[in-house]
Structure 1
């Protein structure tokens, strides 16, 4: 079977879907290789997968100020590329090229900016992936640009009319950031590509949209050969079971409101946890706070019996027992909440999160409250609406029924194996596709 190199960078939300893909590929007899930074080594080892260390070896867990910059509401995406990814282009390219030698296939993440280069140099079949609809920058699917969250309040007809302009503006802005990548391509004797952060990141062989079809698409300006797979599940990074004390708490009363900020925003929570604790007191509801290792001890010491505080817990097991989930709106967290069929309070920080939050609200399963406005009385008011208005729960359960039918890992594996089969039967077709990428 095939040796398949999978590469990504980011938070656990950027790792877990690819661990889910790797374990599914392994179950089909393939040999996945996780070409990823050293910081991921414990999670990769726990999954029993081969690890090839690549750059950038930036561990946000060791640098809260870096997290604050990459989650800045206006400049977060720019910081990710200019501060983390682009300064180490040569090192990233060299390490991924080593990992890909002798492999049969490559799977890339949007932050793996040298993956298209390596695939082109090795004439290797590959798929690109996206985790959220924003990254397609479609002119037919209005987005909420991270620097302009107010767009979500604009009438829908106007948003539809201006969607192509907003998408083009996003491409032009990102092209300025990505000029070092274009120059690096030229230094290797390769041609420049159009919009390297968007169309230029995608494979001509296939694109995996690794989110639920409830978000819409595909649209005519998405890349050709795009497959909407549904969410790829892998929750073991947060443990395989609920810790006994948490399980006892859940068994002892009504479903709680669960508060979480994932694995990145939790580091810059500021007043989030204290306001959350005050909000559940106002509501008179039970709560669970996944507060991370920094905040959990302090919060646990002062929490009432109706609130249980832990550092982390497996979302798939916990959300299914929640009354509602309050979260930062990363695609992994919100996808798991969709699968659980519970209302959501979205608290988006940056990057794709404002757009994700807007989509949840339009689906009828969520309310949105930005971090700058996150105060106990507003949180309590929003949660009261979510919990007492039956339409939210009804809609959440309807969408959970759709999500439950999706088989993300299986669909992704099918798409990859389909490309491998085409290459085996007609290798010239894919060589031509690589040439088309170089001239794009």
Structure 2
């Protein structure tokens, strides 16, 4: 069976779908992935067939304008930037999605591509499954991510109202481009939102995060939106794209030479002043008497030029599945992939959120008692010290280890998602 997976976004959006693609390939299916141009080599490196699809969103986030929006912690400003980029790319994106999905019997989309995929599937008669990396449909259990402060717990009617507003906004913003696509496909124009179009076709909306992180959601939604768990990239695939275990030998030796450090992952945060950030981490480390491991990722924090003492180690991107189990706690931006990895490793987690779904996950780790939420815009040494101190409390550690056991038990997420994809063809 030929399966097409059109994608766009950053690596955090692409990697889980690649993990599913590998599972489907191993079951004997022909899989083709449409990936952003900056992630085509990454996708192909895992062994999947890949071709360009969508703009380079990471380049947008790394731009001066993108960095200012990230630093302000404004999801609205970021949505405006992404919307502008997507508008300029709309016609090309339509063509690329059509090309990726040509001849497919089943299409697997994400929240970012389901709007186009549902029309392509309608035109071709292909089955469709969509992957959601965070709650993306109306529910009374939670508000639309970013619509309300994450520590609020409003009544169900208020939560549903935020979804109605967000869904209508998405419909209005993108409807022109979708109807242009539908015209190219020989379909009638529509006024429906992507959610309504998926509902009309009975599309299976697979939630690729763990139900333990969102109590009450599975009960609210039922079988059409199964929560299968996070789709983790296998170690063999990580090795294939260059995340070699052997490359971590020196770092692991440093970790094992003392008390487990606190991990600080600034890879997706808009770091504008390297010296200020390192000074803050060093101060927190000294106050708490704990070592710190700082991962620069793709921020402008330069590991090679960083100045730090013996208790603070600065490195570039690293393999979370290798390093996290040796740490004591984690501080990062709160993307679902990194959040899953840190909690699965049993690390109490401080989510230093920037935008989109990150504040929601920050609110959840705080609500579950396994971490702390601190918006990046409010980050300073005192707040960071207090937050990390909470992470290291025995009660927080115990709750996180209990949750880690539940997350680790759900290791069949990719297989369960693959079953749903195969069912869509039938």
TM-score (norm 1): 0.85
Aligned partner of 2:16 in structure 1 is 17
Q: Is the 8 A contact 1:74 1:147 kept in 2?
A: no
Aligned partner of 1:208 in structure 2 is 206
Q: Give, in whole Å, the separation in 2 of the partners of 1:109 and 1:69.
A: 27
Aligned partner of 2:291 in structure 1 is 286
Q: Give, in whole Å, the separation in 2 of the partners of 1:221 and 1:84.
A: 35
- The alpha carbon displacement at 1:299 in A equals 5.9
User: Can you list the C-alpha shifts for 1:288-325, whole angstroms capped at 9, x where unaligned?
Assistant: 1001363133663x211111110110111111111000
Aligned partner of 2:103 in structure 1 is 102
Q: Is the 8 A contact 1:67 1:268 kept in 2?
A: no
Q: Give, in whole Å, the separation in 2 of the partners of 1:119 and 1:338.
A: 36
Structure 1 range deviating more: 210-219 or 313-322: 210-219
Q: Give, in whole Å, the separation in 2 of the partners of 1:77 and 1:143.
A: 19
Q: 1:146 to 1:391 in 2, by over 3 A?
A: same
Q: Is the 8 A contact 1:32 1:49 kept in 2?
A: yes
Q: Secondary structure at the match of 2:38?
A: helix
Q: Give, in whole Å, the separation in 1 of the partners of 2:402 and 2:289.
A: 28
- The alpha carbon displacement at 1:333 in A equals 0.5
User: Can you list the C-alpha shifts for 1:378-437, whole angstroms capped at 9, x where unaligned?
Assistant: 1111111220x22211111111111111121111111112222x2xxxxxxxxxxxxxxx
Q: Is the 8 A contact 1:227 1:415 kept in 2?
A: no
Structure 1 range deviating more: 274-283 or 179-188: 179-188
1:86 aligns with 2:59: no
Q: Secondary structure at the match of 1:292?
A: coil
Q: How many residues align?
A: 410
Q: 1:30 to 1:183 in 2, by over 3 A?
A: closer
Where structure 2 has 5 or more consecutive residues not aligned to the other structure, the ranges are: none
Q: Secondary structure at the match of 1:6?
A: strand
Q: Secondary structure at the match of 2:254?
A: helix
Structure 1 range deviating more: 286-295 or 378-387: 286-295
1:344 aligns with 2:343: no
Q: CA RMSD in A?
A: 2.6
Q: 1:260 to 1:199 in 2, by over 3 A?
A: farther
1:163 aligns with 2:168: no
Q: Is the 8 A contact 2:24 2:418 kept in 1?
A: yes
Q: Give, in whole Å, the separation in 1 of the partners of 2:260 and 2:218.
A: 39
Q: Is the 8 A contact 1:126 1:206 kept in 2?
A: yes
User: Can you list the C-alpha shifts for 1:5-34, whole angstroms capped at 9, x where unaligned?
Assistant: 112111111111112111111221112111
Aligned partner of 1:430 in structure 2 is none
Aligned partner of 2:120 in structure 1 is 118
Q: Secondary structure at the match of 1:83?
A: helix
Q: Give, in whole Å, the separation in 2 of the partners of 1:22 and 1:355.
A: 27
Q: Secondary structure at the match of 2:3?
A: strand
1:394 aligns with 2:390: no
- The alpha carbon displacement at 1:210 in A equals 0.4
Q: Give, in whole Å, the separation in 1 of the partners of 2:375 and 2:198.
A: 30
TM-score (norm 2): 0.88
